[in-house]
Structure 1
Amino acid sequence: MTLAGTLETELELKSPADKYFKRISSELHHAPNASPDKVHAIEVHEGDWETPGSVKLWTYTLNGKKEVIKDKIEVDEAKKSVTLVAVDGHVMEKYKSYKVTLHIVPKGEASVAKITLNFEKHHESHDDPKDYLQCVISVAKDIDEHLGSQAD
């Protein structure tokens, strides 16, 4: 069993790429409205909502347990890519490193989210973070649905 790994998936979105990318790159404060059963709060810890490098503290539920994660956001406007790098929180108890990237690719009137989770475990006995990936997928779907329910 290896300590480092990558989990990947693709998610078909109904939202246009530009609209979805804007939501995840500079409007994450809407995530609790889109996915209230999973994301309870997101607070700016350093920086602001729009500046790459800003640090946010998330409160969320995973497997029925309330957890927190503090992450730093990296944004690549040209590639429509957002990366959240964990710097503190419950996820760091099992993983030395944890990084989620959402790359939004236009597909006609809609888009595709290519989701990549890179991680390194503290111990071989820890499971791969498949439950965290499922949570990211679920929240990403909720954000897409929420965007679709809003008037432009």
Structure 2
Amino acid sequence: MGLTGKLIAAIEFKAGGDVFHELFRHKPHHLSNVTPEKVQGCDLHEGQFGHVGTIITWRYTHDGKEKKAKQVIQAINEEQKLMEFKMLEGDLMELYKAFLITIHVETKNGIDLVTWTLEYEMLNEDVEHPLSLLSFFIDMTKDIETHHVEK
């Protein structure tokens, strides 16, 4: 069995792809207001929100447990509305040797799609693929959409 994996989900986003990208790029600390049951905070450690090299720590609840994730923004492509977050420390790093989360917003046939890509290397064969985390991101995307559509 291979220890590396890649999971991808593309979700239709009715509130506008620019809204989603701007939230993650420049205002990730606002996510705790948008989806408080999932994200409790996003703290800036080094750098500035929206810039490559910035280090942030997320406080979130996943599978009923409070967790943390320290990440560096590894890449931003404004034209493609793409951001890459490389995991540095936190709960996920107890199970995975490497973990990269890419968020990409694209428009196809007038429909905005938010695509989450999880690329990872498991520490051993007993570690499960992060399907519940992908589901968490899908649900969070829907929460963000509901928050912005209702305004």
The answer to whether TM tops 0.5 is yes
Q: Which amino acid aligns with 1:88?
A: E
CA offsets per residue over residues 95-121 of structure 1, 9 Å max, x none?
011111111012466510111110000
Q: Which amino acid aligns with 2:143?
A: D
Q: Is the 8 A contact 1:16 1:106 kept in 2?
A: no
Q: How far did 1:122 drift?
A: 0.4
Greater shift in the superposed pair: 103-112 or 138-147: 103-112
The 1:66–1:147 alpha-carbon spacing in structure 2 relative to 1, beyond 3 Å, is: same
Q: Tell me, in whole angstroms, the C-alpha distance in 2 between the residues paired with 1:98 and 1:117.
A: 7
Aligned to 1:118: 119
Q: Tell me, in whole angstroms, the C-alpha distance in 2 between the residues paired with 1:124 and 1:89.
A: 20
Greater shift in the superposed pair: 100-109 or 55-64: 100-109
Aligned to 2:53: 53
Quote the RMSD (CA, aligned, Å). 1.4
Q: Is the 8 A contact 1:67 1:89 kept in 2?
A: yes
Stretches of structure 1 lacking an aligned partner (at least 5 in a row): none
Aligned residues: 150
Aligned to 1:20: 20
Q: Tell me, in whole angstroms, the C-alpha distance in 2 between the residues paired with 1:110 and 1:44.
A: 32
Aligned to 1:96: 97
- Secondary structure (helix, strand or coil) at the match of 2:100 reads strand
Q: Which amino acid aligns with 1:75?
A: I
Aligned to 1:63: 63
Q: Which amino acid aligns with 2:88?
A: V
User: Does 2:86 correspond to 1:85?
Assistant: yes
Aligned to 2:141: 140
Q: Which amino acid aligns with 2:16?
A: P
Q: Which amino acid aligns with 2:13?
A: L
Q: Tell me, in whole angstroms, the C-alpha distance in 1 between the residues paired with 2:56 and 2:109.
A: 32
Q: How far did 1:25 drift?
A: 1.4
Q: Tell me, in whole angstroms, the C-alpha distance in 2 between the residues paired with 1:107 and 1:75.
A: 21
Q: Which amino acid aligns with 2:90?
A: G
Stretches of structure 2 lacking an aligned partner (at least 5 in a row): none
Aligned to 2:2: 2
* TM-score normalized by the length of structure 2: 0.93
